[in-house]
Amino acid sequence: MLAKVTSCAVVGLDAALIEVEVDKGRGLPSITIVGLPDAAVQESRERVRAAIRNTGLAFPDSRLTINLAPADLRKEGPAYDLPIALAILLASEQIFADLDGAIVMGELSLDGGVRHVSGVLPMAVMAREQGFQTLFVPADDAAEASLIDGLDVYPVPNLLALVDHVTGHSRLAPFQRDFLPGDPDDLPPHTADLAEVRGQEHVKRALEVAAAGSHNLMMTGPPGSGKTLLARSMPSILPQLTIDEALDITRVYSVADALPADEPLIHHRPFRAPHHTISYAGLIGGGRWPKPGEISLAHRGVLFLDELPEFGTRMLEMLRQPLEDKVVSISRSAGSLTYPANFTLIAAMNPCPCGYFGDPEKECTCSMTMVSRYQKRISGPLLDRIDIHVEVPRVDYEKLSSDRLGEPSKTVRARVEAARERQRVRFEGTPLSCNDDMGPAEIRQFCQVDEAGQSLLKAAMQQMHLSARAYHRVLKLGRTIADLAGSEGIQTAHIAEAIQYRPRRMV
């Protein structure tokens, strides 16, 4: 007797259909799994056997062949336990059920309980695209699957509940989704309010521009001047997510198995701040069981790299490609995977090893060679990809001790939202969502500069030896500054501000 149950595999950020076929044949009792299974799938035999027995059903004493088709796709992880168990029960004619149009996934525990699996959101997306109607998922993952409209999502607590449901003994209730849009004032812990930061008005302005158009930003300054504090205030001024952006981010978190248990949909723009001891796979993505790295977890949010030179030249060079393409490709023995990585890079560093190079009062104790070597850890091509460079000098006593609070983050966020709204209208019907996403064609269309602005740009190109990339980046930045000012055209003042954010080597 042959039985078939449909399930899914995650490939990169997408899902593929998997047919689980079980054949019960004659011969000595044995179980063979074929179809490129990895070790976790092989171990499925033991879990399925125990789960079926402990559920009070009989595990067939015959020769079982389990095929996971298509055979050329590598099957990883324990998500096939539940479809395999169901197919075995069908093949051994213990149950009879029609599973047309249904997809089953879940890991089994030995007592028959169904455990969480990762990547349920991309599976649900694929199920809808392929015309499936019903999804049986672990109870913990039902909220995530229900983010996709038009599917009946059944939360399965254990194998017995699924058997009772498909045989019609006792039906499971479909999952009713209920989630509220994220509250913009509900911020991650350790988020500072801009009002708490004294002085540094030009840095706050730069953060506002960066948030409004998703431009990369670098802060340089002596120890204790507030760089980390300022970067940590970034989540308080980031614009709210649209539902499409939220789904886009949630897909990455679902595959990375990084969704918080109580939050099926990511409501806030990510703010990722990995430590500089992170591994390549941790930052870029990959690993034995490939997972998105920090640059993908920061998709449509912020990647904050504090003490930038400490990350090491090799690690930083690897950021060049994703910073340009906004996706990252990871090569594997079986083809390559692509994850999205459209993040805003916020970086902070000291100007030299002692930290005081260029400080008007405290003397720097480093030799010129040391300063130069330190700064060269950040290569020219990487600097060229960072649009906004600001110096963060030490704040003086008067400013620090004054009781006057600065502008609160809420007010700044309102301006950022208004600028994003202009961008949303501009890019309606295109896959772009903010100014930094523009390519050369869009730059030509949307970044027209007045005549005075053009001659300023020409002079800057010649004097500062700007690259073609820098030229385009200045135009995009000018567009954002104009959007913040509520201006339709890009004016000279906007271009001037954009140019003064370009990097200058200090030595």
Ligand X SMILES: Nc1ncnc2c1ncn2[C@@H]1O[C@H](COP(=O)(O)OP(=O)(O)OP(=O)(O)O)[C@@H](O)[C@H]1O
Catalog residues that contact ligand X under the rule CB under 6 A: 197-200, 221, 223-229, 348, 350, 395
Using DSSP, state whether 349 is helix, strand or coil. strand
Nearer to ligand X, 232 or 291 (CB): 232
Least Å from the CB of residue 228 to ligand X: 3
| Euclidean distance between CA atoms 165 and 161, whole angstroms | 6
| Euclidean distance between CA atoms 247 and 453, whole angstroms | 39
Q: Count the helices and strands in the chain (H runs, E runs).
A: 21, 18
| Euclidean distance between CA atoms 164 and 141, whole angstroms | 20
Answer with the entry of Mg ion, ligand X, none that 197 interacts with (C-beta below 5 to 8 A by kind): ligand X
Nearer to ligand X, 276 or 424 (CB): 276
Answer with the entry of ligand X, Mg ion, none that 138 interacts with (C-beta below 5 to 8 A by kind): none
Answer with the entry of ligand X, Mg ion, none that 453 interacts with (C-beta below 5 to 8 A by kind): none
Closest by CA position to 406, among listed 185, 204, 184: 204
Q: What are the φ/ψ torsions at residue 35 (nearest 5 degrees)?
A: 105, 45
From the list 177-185, 225-233, 424-432, 480-488, the region that binds Mg ion by CB under 5 A is 225-233
Least Å from the CB of residue 230 to ligand X: 7
Cβ–Cβ under 8 Å, residues 271 and 307: no
Least Å from the CB of residue 186 to ligand X: 22
| Euclidean distance between CA atoms 224 and 455, whole angstroms | 40
Nearer to ligand X, 198 or 268 (CB): 198
Answer with the entry of Mg ion, ligand X, none that 236 interacts with (C-beta below 5 to 8 A by kind): none
Residue of minimal Cβ distance to ligand X? 226
Answer with the entry of ligand X, Mg ion, none that 224 interacts with (C-beta below 5 to 8 A by kind): ligand X
Answer with the entry of ligand X, Mg ion, none that 493 interacts with (C-beta below 5 to 8 A by kind): none
Least Å from the CB of residue 362 to ligand X: 13
| Per-residue tokens: 93 | 């004619």
Answer with the entry of ligand X, Mg ion, none that 350 interacts with (C-beta below 5 to 8 A by kind): ligand X
From the list 220-228, 274-282, 380-388, 466-474, the region that binds Mg ion by CB under 5 A is 220-228
> 249-282 burial, b for 16+ CB within 10 Å, e for fewer?
bbbbbbbbeebeeeebbbbbbbbbbbeeeeeeeb
Answer with the entry of ligand X, Mg ion, none that 489 interacts with (C-beta below 5 to 8 A by kind): none
| Contacts by 445-450, CB closer than 8 A, 24 or more apart | 446/479, 447/475, 447/476, 447/478, 447/479, 447/490, 448/489, 448/490, 449/475, 449/478, 449/489, 449/490, 449/495, 450/489, 450/490, 450/491, 450/492
CA distances from 314 to 129, 323, 375, 500 (A): 40, 15, 15, 29
Least Å from the CB of residue 245 to ligand X: 29
Least Å from the CB of residue 82 to ligand X: 49
Least Å from the CB of residue 229 to ligand X: 3
| Euclidean distance between CA atoms 99 and 163, whole angstroms | 11
Contact pick of 54, 65, 94, 228 for Mg ion (by CB under 5 A): 228
From the list 185-193, 222-230, 375-383, 407-415, the region that binds Mg ion by CB under 5 A is 222-230
CA dihedral 486→492→493→497, nearest 10 degrees, is: 110
Least Å from the CB of residue 225 to Mg ion: 9
Nearer to ligand X, 138 or 406 (CB): 406
Nearer to ligand X, 281 or 395 (CB): 395
Nearer to Mg ion, 228 or 487 (CB): 228
| Euclidean distance between CA atoms 499 and 90, whole angstroms | 69
Applying CB under 5 A, which residues contact Mg ion? Answer: 228
